[in-house]
Structure 1
C-alpha cells in the first residue's frame, strides 16, 4: 500500500490505495480512513487513533492524555454519559479507550449492522465532549482512585518504576497515568487546551475491520466528523535515537509477599530493521514454556512461578525487559540466574533449535492473534499512525522466516551488553548484588 506523502497534495475522499485487502482514503481535513474486510464474521471493530500520548505532555500536564481518555466519555453536546452507555449497551457492543506513551485510541466493537452507531458515538466523544468543570472534578476522583489501585498492584507499578529508571528524565520515563500530585494540579483549561491542540484530524486515523465495506466506512466518517479546514496528515513520529543510558537501580520497599524484579536494557526503535531478530531473541529468552528463562528459573530450579521477557519499541527508543516474582529470600539467586542467562546468550547466541522454535512461536502467535476484528483494527490503525503505511501479514511472516541464528547472535551481542537497569518492589531495602 502506498500512502500519499504528507507533503503532497491533499486528495479528495475518493482517493484510495490498497494493500492486499487493506484500503486507505485521505479526507481533505487530513483524516485518514483505513479498513480491512474480514469475510465470514458478523462483527465490526472501529477505532479512532490519535497520535498523542503521555510523551507529548509538557511540564504541568503529566497525566493529561490519560485523564482525557476518561473525561471525554462524560458527555458531549448531543449525549450525556448515561446516554452514551445506554446506546452501546442496547446493541450489546463494547466502547472503551486506552492511552499509551505515543498514542491514544477510542474504540468500539459491535455487530456489523450497528457500525453507523459505533462510528457516530466514537466521533462524537472524541470531537464534541463538553468537559464541564463538574465532570473534570468527578473524573479527577476516578483517576486518583486508579492511581491508588495501581499502587496496590506491584507488578503493574514495577513497570513504571523500571521505565523511569531506564529512560530517566526523558518523556518516555514518565508514567502514562501521571502522579497524584500532577493529576490534582490539572485544570479544566489545561485539559481543554491539550485536547484542542492534539485531537485534530491530521493527527487521527479512523480504522475499521470486520464485516465492513470501505466506501460505507468512508461515508460514515465524512458524515460524523465536523467540518474542518483542509489539512495534511501528520508524518509518523520520529526523531534521533535516544542515547543508551547508564546502568541504574531502583528499589521501592513494599510490604508484599513476593519480591518483584525487572531487569532490562535499552532496545531498538520501531524503525530499526533488526527488530524482527530482536523479537526472535526475546521469544527464545522468555516468551514461552521452552524459553531459556522459564526453563532455568522455574522448571529446573523452582525459583519463581512467573518469569518472562518482553520488548517495547517507540519511535526513537525501545527496551527489552525480564520480569520475575519470587520469595524475598530468593531474590539474589533469581537475579543471578537471569544475569547468567543474559550473559550466556550475549556471548554465544542461541542454538539453531531455539531460533527455529522461537520463529514458529512468533508465526503462530501472529496468525492466531489476528483472528478477530478488534485485533485486525488495532493492527491497521497502529501501522497507519506509526509508519504511514501497511505491512501485510505475509510480509511479516516472511520477515520472521528470514531471521537466521547469526542475526539473533549479532543483536544479542549488541543489545544484551548494554547497561543493565534493575528495578525491585517488595519487602527489601536494596537491590541484589
Structure 2
C-alpha cells in the first residue's frame, strides 16, 4: 500500500461563489443532514456536499458519461499526529483495517470487491489516511458497504496485529534497501529533525516492534471519529443515493455518533521550526549515489503556491526543464534529476533530487547549485513562464479524466482547505501568475541555505554543508 500523495495545485480554502445551500446551515450537528451544491462546473461534474448529523461529510461529483466510480474514505490523521513512541501507528492501523470486521474477514473484504472486477487500496501520509475502492457504477453499493465497514468497525484481532507487524517490518526493511526512497526520508529528517514531519510514515523497527494492540486500538478510537472523516466519490452516481447508502452502512457502528460539527481543516498555527542547513550522509555500498539538495519551502495555503508550481516546472519539472537539460541531456551525468515541492499545513519543502554514479556527485551538485543561484539572481524568462504555466494547467486538466483524481480533489479540498476551487478559477489563478511573481519567489526561496542528503558509498566528511 502506497504511503505518499501529492497534488501540485490544490484547491483554495476560500469560498466558492457558485455554491447554493439546500439546508439550513453549513455545519452539521443540528440533528439532520445538510446538503449543498458546491459547483456545477462545465469542466467537471456537479459537486454536492452533505454534512451528516455526526459531523461526517460526504462529497460527490456526478459524471454521467463514465461507467465507473471511485469511492474514498479520508481521515484527517497521519504520521504527524503520533507521539514519538507511537511512530508508525497510523500506517500500522491502515494495514489492520483490511484484516477483518465484525461482519467480514480479510478474505471476504478483498474477494467481494475483486469478484466484481473492482480494486481497493489505502495509503498513509503525514497529514491524512485514505481508503479507497474503484468499481463499476452498478457495484457502488457494495463498495460503500465494504469500505465503510472496514473503516468504522475493524476488530483488530490480536493474531492479525502480529501478522501485520511482521509485514510492516518487512516493508521497513524493503524501504531501507531502496536508497532512492530512503534519501527523501533522510532529507526530511535533515530539515525537520525530531519534529513529526521529519519521521518515517511507516515508523521504525524500534517503534513498531513493541507497539501493542491496546495502543493501536486507542489510536483508532480516539482519532477515527466522524467529524474528522470525509467521504468522497466521483463517477456515474447519484448524490442522494450515495448519502443514503453511507448512512445505512454506518448505522450502529462507532461512527454513528451523537450530533457534532465537522472538524475544521488542520490549523496552520505558527510555522514549524526547521533545523539550520546541514549535510547528512547514509553510507551504503550502492552502485548509484542518491542526493537531495533543498530547503524549507512554503505551506499549502500560501498564495505563492501557484508561482511555486510554475517555478518548479521550469527548474526540474520535466524533460524541458533547466536541470534536466543541463545535467542529463547536455552532459549525461544522471539518469534521473528533478525538482519537487511538498506542502503541509504549516510548512513545506523545496528540493532537487538526482541519482548518478558516485564519481559524478560533485559535478552534479556543482551544476545544481549554480543553476539555483542563477535563477535566484536572474529569474526565469517569459518563454519559460509560459511553458511552466502550460505544464501546470495541462497536468491538472488531464487528471480530470480519471475518477480517482476527481475523487481525491474533492476530498483534499474539503479536508485540507475547507472548500473546493472550481476548475476555471484554478486555471485562472495559474494564468494570473506573472514573471515578477515567479522571480520574486525564486530570489527568496533559492537563496535560502540548503540542506544536503546523500545515500551512497561516502563518509560524513566527504561533503560540506
TM-score when normalising by structure 1? 0.97
Is the partner of 1:261 in helix, strand or coil? strand
- 2:180 counterpart of 1:151: no
Aligned mates of 1:12, 1:345 — CA distance in 2: 55
Q: Structure 1 residue 72 and structure 2 residue 97: aligned?
A: yes
C-alpha contact (below 8 Å) 1:244/1:418 kept by paired residues: no
Matched, 1:286 2:316: yes
2:440 counterpart of 1:415: no
Alignment partner of 1:13 out of 33, 38, 42: 33
Point out where structure 1 has 5 or more consecutive residues left out of the alignment. none
In the TM superposition, what is the alpha-carbon distance from 1:349 to its structure 2 partner?
0.8
Q: Distance in 1 between matches of 2:272 and 2:386?
A: 32
- Corresponding residue for 1:49? 74
Query: Deviations 1:366-387 (Å, cap 9, x if unpaired)?
Result: 1112211111001111110001
Say if 2:339 and 2:351, in contact at 8 Å, map to a contact too.
Answer: yes
Counterpart CA distance in 2 for 1:272 and 1:374 is: 26
Q: What's the offset of the Cα at 1:362?
A: 0.8
Runs of 4+ in 1 over 3 A off after TM superposition: 1-6, 8-11, 430-433
The answer to whether residue 214 in structure 2 is matched with residue 189 in structure 1 is yes
Write out aligned runs for 1:135-284 (5 A): 135-225=160-250, 226=253, 227-238=256-267, 239-284=269-314
Q: In the superposition, relative to structure 1, how do residues 5 and 269 fare at CA in structure 2: closer, same or farther (>3 Å)? A: farther
SS at match of 2:334: coil
**Could you state the TM-score of these two structures normalised by the residue count of structure 2?**
0.91
- The aligned length equals 432
**What is the RMSD computed on CA atoms of the aligned residues?**
1.3
- Say if 1:5 and 1:166 are closer, same or farther in 2 by CA, change over 3 A: farther
Confirm or deny: 8 A CA contact 1:250 1:423 kept in the other structure.
yes
- 1:160 and 1:174 in contact (8 A); partners too: yes
Report if aligned partners of 1:245, 1:419 keep a CA contact under 8 Å in 2: no
Cα distance, 1:69–1:166 mapped onto 2, change above 3 Å: same
Taking the aligned partners of 2:26 and 2:290, their CA distance within structure 1 comes to 46
Question: Distance in 2 between the 1:14 and 1:112 partners?
Answer: 25
**TM superposition shift of 1:38:** 1.6
Partner of 2:391: 361
Tell me how far apart the structure 1 counterparts of residues 163 and 260 of structure 2 sit (CA, whole Å): 35
Aligned counterparts, 1:384-423, within 5 A: 384-423=414-453
Shift of 1:15: 2.8
CA contact (8 A) 2:35 2:48 kept: no
SS in 1 for 2:144: helix
Tell whether 2:98 aligns with 1:84.
Answer: no
The answer to which of 389-398 and 106-115 deviates more is: 389-398
Query: Aligned-pair distance for 1:203?
Result: 0.1
**Counterpart-to-counterpart distance in 2, 1:432 and 1:40:** 56
Counterparts of 2:272 and 2:155, CA distance in 1: 38
Query: C-alpha separation between the residues in 1 aligned to 2:113 and 2:73?
Result: 16
Query: Which of 361, 382, 401 does residue 352 from structure 1 map onto?
Result: 382
Whether the aligned pair in 2 keeps the contact of 1:60 and 1:185 (CA below 8 Å) is no
Q: Does 2:338 align with 1:318? A: no
Q: CA deviation at 1:212?
A: 1.1
Deviation for aligned residue 1:37: 1.2
Q: Distance in 1 between matches of 2:205 and 2:49?
A: 41
| SS of aligned partner of 1:60 | helix
SS at match of 1:235: coil
**Shift of residue 12 of structure 1?**
2.2
Whether contact under 8 Å (2:31, 2:259) holds in the other structure is no
* Cα distance change on mapping 1:192 and 1:244 into 2, 3 Å: closer
Q: Which residue of 1 aligns with 2:148?
A: 123
1:308-338: per-residue Cα shift (whole Å, max 9, x none)? 0111110000011110000001000000000
- Assess, with a 3 A threshold, how the Cα gap between structure 1 residues 418 and 88 changes in structure 2: closer, same or farther: same
Contact 1:48/1:107, CA 8 A, preserved across alignment: yes
Deviation at 1:14, TM superposition (A): 4.4
- In the TM superposition, residue 59 of structure 1 has moved relative to its aligned partner by 2.8
Question: Equivalents in 2 of 1:9, 1:141: separation in Å?
Answer: 41
Structure 2 contact 78–128 (Cα < 8 Å) conserved? yes
Gaps of at least 5 residues in structure 2 are 1-15, 41-45
Q: Which residue of 2 is the match for residue 95 of structure 1?
A: 120
CA distance in 1, matches of 2:107, 2:35: 38
